[in-house]
Amino acid sequence: MDRITDLEVRDIRFPTSLDRDGSDAMNPDPDYSAAYVILRTDRPDGLQGHGLTFTIGRGTEIVVAAVMALRPLVVGQPLAAFTGSPGAFWKHLTGDSQLRWLGPEKGVIHLATAAVVNALWDLWAKIERKPLWKLLSGLSPAQIVELVDWRYLSDAMTPSEAQEMLDRLVSTRSARESEIIASGYPAYTTSAGWLGYSDDKIRRLCREALADGWTAFKVKVGADLEDDRRRCSIVRAEIGPDLPLMIDANQRWDVAQAIEWVQALAPCDPLWIEEPTSPDDILGHAAIARALAPFGIGVATGEHCQNRVVFKQLLQAEAISFCQIDSCRLGGVNEVVAVLLLAAKFGVPVCPHAGGVGLCEYVQHESIFDFICVTGSHEGRMIEFVDHLHGHFVDPCVIRRGRYQAPTAPGTSITMKLESLEAHGYPSGEVWKRLRAKKP
Amino acid sequence: MDRITDLEVRDIRFPTSLDRDGSDAMNPDPDYSAAYVILRTDRPDGLQGHGLTFTIGRGTEIVVAAVMALRPLVVGQPLAAFTGSPGAFWKHLTGDSQLRWLGPEKGVIHLATAAVVNALWDLWAKIERKPLWKLLSGLSPAQIVELVDWRYLSDAMTPSEAQEMLDRLVSTRSARESEIIASGYPAYTTSAGWLGYSDDKIRRLCREALADGWTAFKVKVGADLEDDRRRCSIVRAEIGPDLPLMIDANQRWDVAQAIEWVQALAPCDPLWIEEPTSPDDILGHAAIARALAPFGIGVATGEHCQNRVVFKQLLQAEAISFCQIDSCRLGGVNEVVAVLLLAAKFGVPVCPHAGGVGLCEYVQHESIFDFICVTGSHEGRMIEFVDHLHGHFVDPCVIRRGRYQAPTAPGTSITMKLESLEAHGYPSGEVWKRLRAKKP
């Protein structure tokens, strides 16, 4: 019987703040980072499970400490304890009553849970020699239902409702699998729209993106209204009247201010306003959604949405028109599946949050699974794409003409190159040593 | 100019699980613990600021790591940066954009914020030679308004509304101060109602509590309905028909189950059901509140409520009849004041969560301030009291005939005896060394 014999966790940081890549209204100088988990087993093939949770610099060491606190729940376990009932294992990880006090199921302890859970899935998929999406799409409806912790969800959806929904799509799974392998999954780009970029850089990046086949674009807003008007107008002028333009305020506003500001940007015809206010404010998002509906602007949120209970309410309250799961803010694959099922029931398209480091690699699997098994459609859905840091991965996501191509390598696409892990280890990797040496 | 020169943080744990003190439906074996902060300055008087955040064992080291991540934001700062504008300093602590990613304002990073913020208040109050409640009650309405981070609150309350509310009570503050010094603040006891206790122990503890002058009682429920019926009936029989009995499910149920279970306990005439479901489920609490209103049973929650934005919504949605602030789950004194103001505006009484270690010591100050400056009433309000671990504090809270007596010592009552800190340090304190030695 295979057994998990070791869990290692590393603090990996990229000095992205030097170029202002990833700058937005709330995050002026992120250093894209990860708490990076490596699972080892006693299997003779030496396969490892890799998983990460995305952070933006300082504080990654806190998430590392949290992963270490989860370690005793994993090391020494037979692998079958996870693969035999991944949902039960998820409850085992999130159910430690003393650790639960630190959340429950939110913030640092939940970010750590995501890294560990995703590493378990990576290991399982590598053993099965399948990319994650293919492993998930091979599960029966009953197995998919078992992945989810149904606690606190029954007022919105029951396991048997989920099972019925999944059952209806089983016979047509293979046709959709062929389609996705042939054509890929739709995506949009955020690469042109960061706050820190000059107008000229925005124009140039828009033109390059159009030439590369991109058909949907996102722009960061929220720091200065006049500036936003100008930048959104530049993008709208570059992409023409028909392609979707999305805007993202990264939690910058109170409710009334959000409504006023976005209405002022309505002439640029945005498809959605993302994170208009506090990610905790379900009722606030609902009020914004009602006020913007007459303008044809939807509300999107989720990258800071802590767990399935908050997503449940965003859906119940009709607060979101687009559901932006995050593969690491939620407690890993299992909880992402919970939210995919909820969103499908409420008829809200899932457009995952990506970018950062590794998020594009993760969510492509989850959206492809959503298409094949949960919704049967990618109509009105698209995955975020940001062209940062992919070169550090052994099997990075592949984009062709603005679409994610179905991953083919076994696992979750998240294994980083060893030289990248070594160079970006914090604080002792070469990259950080060199930066410290440069400081006056 | 006084300057903060050092911030020390300790991992302090009490082996309370050995006696099943504090056992409830979700927390069968807590070891009451704290991340304990000590601030030092360059003042010649050597005064220190002490602050803690309450945890229940494993994972306290994660909160310690989070406090260390906040340390650079505090050490080296002039004390006047805090005392001159505590609200601005609170935003400085919670506004670090890289650390904010780990919450925002929730979970581990926010627990750590609470310990640091509360230590700053302790230091300030000791310098002013006043107990915290007296320091707070000496602030002008404008100063009180400045304490609060108003971001994300304006759809429920504006700073000027708060100021008007506070202005109206200024002239009568001193009369209420005299009243509280003479008569204390009402309290209720949870000491008799822990799940792990036998029926005989419950009966005995009820009788002792009545003899000691207690007039309100709380019982833990949620593990087994028949067991709950029996235990609640025992308590109701012991205390008679007129005294308030509260029940607490510690998040055990889904929404429909909560309604059904509490309706089954209605014959015991509970005043409130506490934490019926997920602390994140605002809409769920609202549904439960609507269903239980005809039975005269209110909904109470808050000990796991992560920040002012969630409390705002619980109030907006009419989801709670009793608002249970937690002095450490919220980001310390400043955010507690925010919630006191919101609750006052919505007319919902604040009945703080206490127990654990140090929570009784903290919340007595906050409720007395609420009475003197914010609401002018303690009608229908009471503070939880649990008789655990008070002996470890230099100035523990004092209860007479079921009422908290106004603290007189300078500070926040949270300074622990040095010998307690030393003995309970984890993992190297004497208490833990001895326990490890006893293990087979």
The ipTM value here is 0.97
Please, which pLDDT band fits residue A24 given cuts at 50, 70 and 90?
Answer: confident
Q: Tell me which of A220, A285, A312, A392 is the catalytic residue.
A: A220
What size, in residues, is chain A? 440
Query: A82-137, pLDDT tens digit by residue?
Result: 999 999 999 999 999 999 999 999 999 999 999 999 999 999 999 999 999 999 99
Of B28, B102, B255, the CB nearest to A107: B102
- Left (φ > 0), alpha (ψ -120 to 50) or beta: where does A105 sit? left
Distance, in Å, from the CA atom of B315 to the CA atom of B311, rounded to the nearest integer, reads 6
Instruction: Write out chain A residues lying below 8 Å of B69, CB-based.
Output: 58-59, 61-62
Question: Quick check: B154 and A256 CB within 8 A?
Answer: yes
Q: Which residue of B has its CA nearest to A56?
A: B98
Question: Quick check: B255 and A155 CB within 8 A?
Answer: yes
Instruction: Write out chain B residues lying below 8 Å of A69, CB-based.
Output: 58-59, 61-62
CA atoms within 13 A on the CB side of A228: 25
The pair of structure tokens assigned to B261 is 């279970």
The answer as to whether B202 is a domain residue is yes
Q: Which residue of B has its CA nearest to A253?
A: B152
The answer as to whether A67 is a domain residue is yes
Same domain, A206 and A271: yes
Element (H, E) at A220: strand A217-220
Query: A288-310, pLDDT tens digit by residue?
Result: 999 999 999 999 999 999 999 99
The alpha carbon of residue B87 and the mean position of all alpha carbons in its chain are separated, in whole angstroms, by: 20
pLDDT of the residue at B438? 84
Distance, in Å, from the CA atom of A217 to the CA atom of A244, rounded to the nearest integer, reads 6
Question: Quick check: A66 and B63 CB within 8 A?
Answer: no
Same domain, A97 and A176: no
CATH code, domain with A62 = 3.30.390.10
Question: Quick check: B26 and A100 CB within 8 A?
Answer: yes
Q: Considering only CA atoms, which of A372, A418, A411, A382 is closest in space to residue A395?
A: A411
By the 8 A CB rule, do B275 and B281 touch? Answer: no
Same domain, A411 and A281: yes
The pair of structure tokens assigned to A118 is 């995703």
Please, which pLDDT band fits residue A207 given cuts at 50, 70 and 90?
Answer: very high
Of A97, A106, A310, the CB nearest to B26: A97
The pair of structure tokens assigned to B184 is 């204390």
What distance in Å separates residue A329's CA from the closest CA in chain B?
9
Cα–Cα separations (whole angstroms), residue A99 to A336, B26, B253, B279: 21, 12, 19, 16
Question: Quick check: A281 and B152 CB within 8 A?
Answer: yes
Please, which pLDDT band fits residue A195 given cuts at 50, 70 and 90?
Answer: confident
What distance in Å separates residue A110's CA from the closest CA in chain B?
9
Same domain, A413 and A424: no
Concatenate the DSSP letters of all residues of B394-410 into one string: SS---EETTEEPPP-SS
Instruction: Write out chain A residues lying below 8 Å of B96, CB-based.
Output: 58
Alpha helices in B240-297 (DSSP H): 255-264, 282-292
Instruction: Write out chain A residues lying below 8 Å of B254, CB-based.
Output: 151-155
Chain position carrying tokens 């002439």: A267
By the 8 A CB rule, do B192 and B217 touch? Answer: yes
The answer as to whether A87 is a domain residue is yes
Same domain, A115 and A63: yes
Q: Tell me which of A285, A353, A390, A392 is the catalytic residue.
A: A353
Residues of chain B with pLDDT under 70: 20-22, 440
pLDDT of the residue at B192? 84
Number of residue pairs across A and B with CB atoms under 8 Å? Answer: 187
The total number of structural domains in chain A stands at 2
Distance, in Å, from the CA atom of A18 to the CA atom of A14, rounded to the nearest integer, reads 10
Distance, in Å, from the CA atom of B153 to the CA atom of B172, rounded to the nearest integer, reads 28
The answer as to whether B147 is a domain residue is no
The answer as to whether A146 is a domain residue is no
Same domain, A402 and A432: no
Query: A225-236, pLDDT tens digit by residue?
Result: 999 999 999 999
CATH code, domain with B398 = 3.20.20.120
Question: Quick check: B254 and A154 CB within 8 A?
Answer: yes
Query: B392-407, pLDDT tens digit by residue?
Result: 999 999 999 999 999 9
Question: Quick check: B62 and A61 CB within 8 A?
Answer: no
Strand A217-220 versus strand B403-404 pairing type: unpaired
Please, which pLDDT band fits residue A21 given cuts at 50, 70 and 90?
Answer: low
The answer as to whether A120 is a domain residue is yes
Count the Cβ atoms, other than its own, within 10 Å of residue B95.
15
Distance, in Å, from the CA atom of B265 to the CA atom of B297, rounded to the nearest integer, reads 10
Instruction: Write out chain A residues lying below 8 Å of B279, CB-based.
Output: 104
Q: What residues are paired with B94 via a beta bridge?
A: none
By the 8 A CB rule, do B317 and B283 touch? Answer: yes
Distance, in Å, from the CA atom of A433 to the CA atom of A259, rounded to the nearest integer, reads 46
CB burial string A378-394: b at 16+ within 10 A, e below:
beebbbbbbebbbebbe
Cα dihedral B325, B329, B332, B338, rounded to 10, equals -40
pLDDT of the residue at B385? 96
Domain that holds residue A192: 165-417
Least confident of A137-146, A178-187, B24-33: B24-33
Q: What residues are paired with A80 via a beta bridge?
A: none
The answer as to whether A157 is a domain residue is no
Name which of A11, A102, A250 to mutate to probe chain B: the one with the most chain B Cβ atoms within 10 A of its Cβ.
A102
Please, which pLDDT band fits residue A439 given cuts at 50, 70 and 90?
Answer: confident
Catalytic residue status for B218: no
Element (H, E) at B37: strand B33-41
pLDDT of the residue at B440? 64
Strand A298-301 versus strand A322-323 pairing type: parallel
Same domain, A69 and A181: no
Q: Considering only CA atoms, which of A295, A293, A256, A249 is closest in space to residue A275?
A: A249
Query: A330-365, pLDDT tens digit by residue?
Result: 999 999 999 999 999 999 999 999 999 999 999 999
pLDDT of the residue at A20? 67
pLDDT of the residue at A255? 98
Catalytic residue status for A353: yes
The set of long-range contacts for B425-433, using a CB threshold of 8 Å and a minimum separation of 24, is B425/B10, B425/B11, B425/B12, B426/B11, B426/B12, B426/B13, B426/B33, B426/B60, B426/B61, B427/B11, B431/B14, B431/B15, B432/B13, B432/B15
What distance in Å separates residue B154's CA from the closest CA in chain A?
7
What distance in Å separates residue B71's CA from the closest CA in chain A?
12
Question: Quick check: B69 and A58 CB within 8 A?
Answer: yes
Alpha helices in B95-191 (DSSP H): 97-100, 107-127, 132-137, 141-147, 159-167, 173-183
Tell me the one-letter amino acid at A140: S
The answer as to whether A237 is a domain residue is yes
Instruction: Write out chain B residues lying below 8 Å of A304, CB-based.
Output: 104
Query: B3-44, pLDDT tens digit by residue?
Result: 999 999 999 999 998 876 667 777 778 999 999 999 999 999
Question: Quick check: B65 and A62 CB within 8 A?
Answer: yes
Chain position carrying tokens 């599960």: A139
